[in-house]
A and B are shown apart, each in its own frame.
Chain A
Amino acid sequence: MNGTLVGKRLIGTQAPVTVGWENLPRVEGGPVKLFVFTWFQPAMLLGLIAFWFYAPNSIAKASTAIGIGIGFKALLLALEWVNPRFDSWRLTWKEAVTDLFYVGLGYTVLRLVDDYIGSDAVADYIQQGLHWDKLNWFMTLPLLLQAFIISFVFDFGQYWMHRGMHNWQPLWLTHAPHHYITQLNINKGAVGNPVELFLIGLGIGGFFDFLPRAALLAGTFGLAVGTYQHINVRFNSPRWWRFLFNTTEHHSVHHSQDYEASRSNYSGTWIIIDRLFGTCVDGEAELLGMEGGRPMSIRETMSYPFTEGWKSIRERFARPIAGEPVAVPAE
């Protein structure tokens, strides 16, 4: 494969990746279908922002956000049936059960752990140590500006954590299992080793306690934009949307079997961060995963960072046994 030159990088030499918006397929069908799959994303984002902006205090709560999140994902699951991006990404019963298992861990065990050593504990520590009056200026900003700043700053941190995971072996070992997914569906974002999910989740709770409405608005960007990273639906996203926001197209490139392509599109919500740092590749890939698309079992996903970490440590510190030939790098 020749690949396509993007900046200084050749994308798609190991596995097919389509580069450039003009080369991607569009939604096909009647005017109603075209209208729905062009404007669904902006309309949902706008609708949810309006909801959280105007909702009375009795409704604007985290529990409502959880309910909306579940309902929204159920709607998107239905859309996967109506207008799939690729038939090779169809959700099967086994995939649905596997994905839901990781979602379940996130809602139960990880929350317990977070209470003690994760973002909730960090939030408590910050709240006790920080002088609140230093943040007063922030609290008086318009709500939507507060929400944008929270969302952008969190995504900026997540960008570097994610980029770090692709560049530093100990972090990569926690993230690698997530890259063994071979298709994108709504709950695939939860698939991975819990250590990674814990690391990615760090920092979310820090905001939640002191700016309820702004935090809920900020969470809306994650729900109504970030969720589309892992989804098997084809949208005709407007140009301004795909310039600003992460899309399925971007994230499919990130999950491509092509190594160079996988080192792009690190942000969760704001793809403009990738544009700023030169890691954005506009395009799409269908063949996803690692090792030529080998699926990873739940058991291996759970043990991978530890078994591979142990192997790496042993290789690094292993002493050559007397009499055993020592490997010498080729000239």
Chain B
Amino acid sequence: MNLRFIDWIWHVRGSMALSPDLSRDDAFDRLDPVFRQSGTRRERRDDTLVFTKRDQEAQDKMSVFDSGVLRLEQGVAGIVLHYRLISRALLFCFLAPFLFLGIAQLTIAIGNHQKAAAEAAAKAGTAPKKKPEKAVFPLNPIDKALGAPEPEDPKKKKDEDKLPSPTPAYVFAGLFAALYVIGRVLEDRLVRSLFRKRLAGA
């Protein structure tokens, strides 16, 4: 299977033209501080810079990326920087919704199992005894004076269906899907802006 069709999920690619007065060495020298971070190893060979990151710090501006290649190529109008950056964090975030959808299915399956077990126990007459009814306690006079509502009569309260709910898992699946879209766009833009600023000498 050719991963090129799907590797955009965790690969960030881009290119930008260099200022005409910037040499290849100058360009890499300006980008160098970006890779002078704890846990980062970099290697420069001619027109190419390869880096890997391990245990990158949270505030490392490229902490979301684990490895990558930056290449300077001669274009029609001058030198162009091409980069391809690999992020396990993006892949993880892309897969997280599937994990939570799986958890939702597991929750439903456990709920069904509990329901079936309870029904079977009821048929067989081995259902667990009902909990003792709770007494109603009047409000303390201090609370009454302060205007707190009277407590609800527990007898009026309907037996709640205590089956586990898959809703939180669905919510988190949605949150991670949204976060993936945000991260894929945001990190792409942030790294582009970081390279542009460094190359401009900022």
Residues on A lying within 8 angstroms of B by beta carbon are 53-57, 60, 88, 90, 92-98, 100-101, 104, 107-109, 111-112, 115, 127-128, 132-133, 136, 139-143, 182-183, 210, 212-213, 293-295, 297-298
A sample of 11 cross-chain residue pairs with beta-carbon separation below 8 angstroms, ordered by A number, consists of: A54-B149, A57-B151, A92-B58, A93-B183, A93-B186, A95-B58, A97-B96, A112-B107, A128-B131, A143-B139, A182-B57
* Interface status of B92 (Cβ within 8 A of chain A): yes
Contact with A along B98-109 (1 / 0, CB 8 A): 001001101100
Chain B residues whose CB sits within 8 angstroms of the CB of A98 once the complex forms: 89
Question: How far is it, in angstroms, between the C-alpha of A112 and the C-alpha of B103 when the chains are bound?
Answer: 10
The 10 closest A-B pairs by CB, nearest first: A104-B172, A107-B168, A139-B137, A142-B142, A57-B152, A142-B140, A108-B169, A94-B64, A93-B183, A108-B103
Chain B residues whose CB sits within 8 angstroms of the CB of A112 once the complex forms: 106-107, 110, 164
Distance of B176 from chain A, by nearest CB (Å): 7
Chain A residues whose CB sits within 8 angstroms of the CB of B179 once the complex forms: 93, 96-97, 100
Selected contact of A108 from candidates B100, B137, B176, CB within 8 Å: B100
Question: How far is it, in angstroms, between the C-alpha of A140 and the C-alpha of B131 when the chains are bound?
Answer: 21
Chain A residues whose CB sits within 8 angstroms of the CB of B132 once the complex forms: 132
Chain A residues whose CB sits within 8 angstroms of the CB of B164 once the complex forms: 111-112, 115
Name the CB-closest residue of B to A298: B92
A97 touches B172 (CB 8 A): no
Name the CB-closest residue of B to A124: B131
Chain B residues whose CB sits within 8 angstroms of the CB of A297 once the complex forms: 55
Question: How far is it, in angstroms, between the C-alpha of A104 and the C-alpha of B57 when the chains are bound?
Answer: 23
The answer to whether residues A54 and B176 also contact, given A107-B168, A136-B137 and a CB cut-off of 8 A, is no
Question: How far is it, in angstroms, between the C-alpha of A141 and the C-alpha of B147 when the chains are bound?
Answer: 15
The answer to whether residues A97 and B176 also contact, given A108-B103, A141-B140, A143-B140 and a CB cut-off of 8 A, is yes
Residues on B lying within 8 angstroms of A by beta carbon are 55-59, 63-64, 89, 92-93, 96, 100, 103-104, 106-107, 110, 131-132, 134-135, 137-140, 142-143, 146-149, 151-152, 164, 168-169, 171-172, 175-176, 179, 182-183, 186-187
Given contacts A57-B152, A112-B164, 6 further A-B contacts (CB under 8 A): A53-B146, A57-B151, A104-B168, A107-B168, A112-B110, A294-B55
B175 touches A100 (CB 8 A): yes
A53 touches B137 (CB 8 A): no
Distance of A223 from chain B, by nearest CB (Å): 18
Question: How far is it, in angstroms, between the C-alpha of A196 and the C-alpha of B134 when the chains are bound?
Answer: 33
Chain B residues whose CB sits within 8 angstroms of the CB of A213 once the complex forms: 148, 151
Selected contact of B143 from candidates A92, A93, A143, A298, CB within 8 Å: A143
A97 touches B58 (CB 8 A): no
A93 touches B182 (CB 8 A): yes
B140 touches A108 (CB 8 A): no
A136 touches B140 (CB 8 A): no
A94 touches B63 (CB 8 A): yes
Question: How far is it, in angstroms, between the C-alpha of A247 and the C-alpha of B135 when the chains are bound?
Answer: 39
Question: How far is it, in angstroms, between the C-alpha of A140 and the C-alpha of B142 when the chains are bound?
Answer: 10
The answer to whether residues A107 and B148 also contact, given A93-B186, A94-B63 and a CB cut-off of 8 A, is no
Question: How far is it, in angstroms, between the C-alpha of A298 and the C-alpha of B89 when the chains are bound?
Answer: 10
Chain B residues whose CB sits within 8 angstroms of the CB of A56 once the complex forms: 149
A90 touches B59 (CB 8 A): yes
Name the CB-closest residue of B to A138: B137
Chain A residues whose CB sits within 8 angstroms of the CB of B100 once the complex forms: 104, 108
Distance of B15 from chain A, by nearest CB (Å): 23
Chain A residues whose CB sits within 8 angstroms of the CB of B168 once the complex forms: 104, 107-108, 111
Name the CB-closest residue of A to B93: A97
B151 touches A293 (CB 8 A): no
Question: How far is it, in angstroms, between the C-alpha of A186 and the C-alpha of B77 when the chains are bound?
Answer: 48
Selected contact of B58 from candidates A60, A94, A132, CB within 8 Å: A94
Question: How far is it, in angstroms, between the C-alpha of A94 and the C-alpha of B89 when the chains are bound?
Answer: 7
B131 touches A127 (CB 8 A): yes
Chain B residues whose CB sits within 8 angstroms of the CB of A101 once the complex forms: 92, 96, 176
Question: How far is it, in angstroms, between the C-alpha of A23 and the C-alpha of B146 when the chains are bound?
Answer: 42
Question: How far is it, in angstroms, between the C-alpha of A112 and the C-alpha of B106 when the chains are bound?
Answer: 10
A93 touches B172 (CB 8 A): no
Name the CB-closest residue of A to B63: A94
Chain B residues whose CB sits within 8 angstroms of the CB of A57 once the complex forms: 149, 151-152
Selected contact of B148 from candidates A53, A104, A183, A295, CB within 8 Å: A53
B152 touches A97 (CB 8 A): no
Chain B residues whose CB sits within 8 angstroms of the CB of A111 once the complex forms: 164, 168
